[in-house]
Structure 1
C-alpha cells in the first residue's frame, strides 16, 4: 500500500474485518428480534386467566367440595358422549347454587348472569 492510497481514502478493509462486522450486525439483529418475540409471547401469556378453574374461583375445602363430590361434578367437563344433568353456578351476588344443566348452560352462554363453576352427573342414586 502506498502513501497515495492512504491519502485518497481508497484503502479497503481486510476481508476478515468485513465478515466480522457483518456477523456482529446479523447476530445483533437476530438477538433483538428474538427478544421482541419473547417479550411479546410473555405479554400474551400473562394476560390470560389462570388455567386451573378451581384456583380461579377459590374452591377451598368446605361445602362446595362436598356438593361437588356428592353430585359427581367436574370443573373441566366430561367426554362428549356424557351429558351432565346438573350444574353448579355462582350468582352475581356470590351465592353458589346447584341447578339444572339447562340453567347452567344458560349461565355459560351468557343468557343468565352468573358464572358456571362445574357441570355434574348428579348423585350416585339418581
Structure 2
C-alpha cells in the first residue's frame, strides 16, 4: 500500500518538474529570439551624419527642393533626389537616377528624395 501512497507525490513532483522545464525553455527561447533580433538589426544611421557634408549646404538644398530623408506617402511621387557620388560629391538628380542608385544599379548613395522647388510664388 505504500507504493500507492507514494505515487501521487511523485506524480505531483513530475508534473511540477515538466511545467518548470517548459516555462524555463519558453523564457530561454523568448530571450534568445529577442537577442537575435537586436543583433541582426543594425542600428539606424542618421543620413545627415552619414554623408559627411556640412549641414548648411545640404539643409539649404533640402529646403529649396522640399526633400525628405525618409520619403513621402505612397501617393506622392518625388520628382528629384539627392545622391552622394562615389567621389563624395552631393548632387541633385532626377528621381529615376536616384532610384537607380537606391537599387544599386548606379554608383553612389541615395541621401533624400525631393518634390522639387515650390511652385507657389
TM-score by length of 2: 0.75
Do the aligned residues in 2 keep the contact of 1:107 with 1:113 (CA within 8 Å)?
A: yes
User: Is 1:27–2:36 an aligned residue pair?
Assistant: no
Structure (1/2) with the larger helix percentage? 2
Gaps of 5+ in 2: none
Gaps of 5+ in 1: none
Q: Of the candidates 78, 83, 86, which is equivalent to residue 77 of structure 2?
A: 83
Q: Out of 16-25 and 51-60, give the one that drifted further.
A: 51-60
| Alignment match, 1:40 | 33
TM-score by length of 1: 0.73
| Alignment match, 2:99 | 105
Shift of 1:49: 2.9
| Alignment match, 1:18 | 11
Shift of 1:33: 2.7
